[in-house]
Amino acid sequence: MKLKDADVQPNRIRQHEHLSPDLEVRAQAIYDILGKHLNQDRLRWADGFCFDLHPERELAIWENYAAAYKKFTDGKPQYHQAVAWRTILEHIANTEVEVVNLASPKQVSCPFTGSAKTVFSKMWKHLNEM
């Protein structure tokens, strides 16, 4: 029997029954900033971290994106939000390197690229191209 591509579905294995209260608070803070761009409600989005082997690492990555987004869009015209979100999506699609947390000098190893500072500079580049 030959399988068709449409018949093959990714198998996501739940790694954690639920997030700790601390991780729930962190996920909520990220969602408060980026939620309007996510295609899920807050509970479903936060639950997605239960499928990650290391949800705290993944949340640290998203915290960097949220920090860059907030810094770039606060007090700016509406179109900055679209530029910021597009840049974050492009950044996520890139190859693997380390992410540096803007709030702390420690580095977090992750499957995404660069740092929030890098995302922020890319946002300015996109804006200047408009």
Work out the widest C-alpha separation in the chain, in whole angstroms: 59
pLDDT value of residue 46: 94
Residue with tokens 């499928």: 51
pLDDT reading at 24 higher than 80: yes
Confidence of residue 22 (pLDDT cuts 50, 70, 90): very high
Q: How far is CA 107 from CA 14, 53, 115, in A?
A: 26, 18, 9
Looking at the DSSP bridge assignments, the partners of residue 99 are: 108
Nearest to 86 by CA among 73, 101, 102, 100: 73
Nearest to 32 by CA among 46, 18, 20: 46
- pLDDT, one tens digit per residue, over 32-85 is 999 999 989 999 999 999 998 899 999 998 998 898 899 889 988 888 888 888
For 38, residues 6+ apart whose C-beta sits below 8 A from its C-beta are 31, 45
